[in-house]
Structure 1
Amino acid sequence: MAGDGGLASQVFILAKDLAKVEEAVKGLGERDGKVQSVLAELDLGPLQLAVDHLEERTTGLQAEVQALAPIRAGLDALAKTVKQIREDLEAQAAEPAEEKLAVWNWSFQGGMNREEAGEAWEILVGWARSTLQVQYGWIGPPADIFARTGQGYGSVNNGPSTPPRIPACWYRHREAVIELSWLCQEWIKIYTTSYGTPTRAGDWHERADRAKRRVIAALSKCVEKGHVDDPWQTDPKSPGAPQAIDDDEVLSTWVGWDLQNRPNAPAPGPVADH
């Protein structure tokens, strides 16, 4: 197929040929006397040549237009795609922005302030009562409390065993509060905002089941005997208390040795002018 320049050139030549024909026809109309005598005097050679050129150019243009048909179909399809993308973007822009929840940070250093923590406690406890207790039955005393076995609580009269529950003293244990907090926030986001989908709801239940088992394992003493305080809550130096560093003096020596074996920082270079 000829390029755009070739097509434009053909159109220009065709216009010139048409102009020649128009000029010849005009000359016919301006002459007096009989048509036969006019035609006899008229040199029809250039006119015939112009007509021949017109026929050739018309045939060439028809071929060019036919060759452009696939391109036009592709351009039409591209235009439809662009239109659909624009409509999708406009629809997304019209949707309300997704509300992002601030993760509850229960740390006393850099965590929530008093007002934020009070609001978080209210939401968490309300969710535990209405959702974990009533809807799922995950919190409370063991369901088969009278079916004590050597491995914990089993079944009544050899019936099906009941899944263990999270002790109702969960709020007294920091690890349980932290674990249930993310479950609560994610559940609220899935079930009360446009973020929720069936897939995300299914993922939540998959992860929630594992989190539930972790909380029950951490509170295993409370499952068996009712609430049991961790001794280090009242006595941080009690045996078995969580301890980030076993010996501060040894830590200082170890860190000093590590630093001595590292190269010095490179000297600062000249500041580049901007």
Structure 2
Amino acid sequence: MNTPPHPEPRAERPENGGATGAAVVGLARQVDDLTRRLDMLGPVNGRIDELTQVVAETAQVLATLAARRRPAAAPSWLLAPAEPEQVAQLLDELTEWLRRVFLRYPDGAAVVPECWAWHADVVEELLWLMHGWCAAYQGPDASVQLAGDWHDRQRPGVVNRLRKSVGSCSIEAHQTRPGWGAPPGAPAPVPGTRHTDLIVDWWATGREQTPPEPPTDDRVAQGSIGGALR
């Protein structure tokens, strides 16, 4: 007796593709929706990239400006290096500036005595005032505002302090000052320049010691300035 073969079971197909088909269709719709959303964000992403570039460039510009506007440090006479050449350069530059600028003001000429270079505080005051003038008139950020501050505050302040510390002007000083009778507006000569070599040697090599005695006119005429150091 032959047994009829068992028929192979057929996979049931749920109506409309069953649960799996519905999930696939839903997923496809979500992907399509996300794709459309990403397409809409395309211009926004481009704008973000542009803004990032702008921010980076702005930061670079600000850093450059900050570096340019950083005030330059003025050299200090009180902390000058113990090198005669550098001390001489500081004093030479200051002397020239005094002649060309500071001593053109009558009150400035009145408060700079013959012995000004022996007063370290006076040299320090005049040195930073010179660099304040350079920053106001010649520096990378020179401006009318800085020049006004120099005239209104810095220069008068130094003049007042020098007047208190090293004396004030008098009629006798005007009558006997070198250069009397010079054309109006001509700068007064810088006093004490014949002693600058003596000051350079002392300040560069022995500023902690007693300052040298200023030589008399006879010793200067005889060329014996160096004797004051011995």
Query: TM-score, normalised on structure 1?
Result: 0.41
| Structure of higher RCO (CA pairs closer than 8 Å, 6+ residues apart) | 2
- The structure whose Rg is larger is 1
Higher normalized helix content (fraction of residues): 2
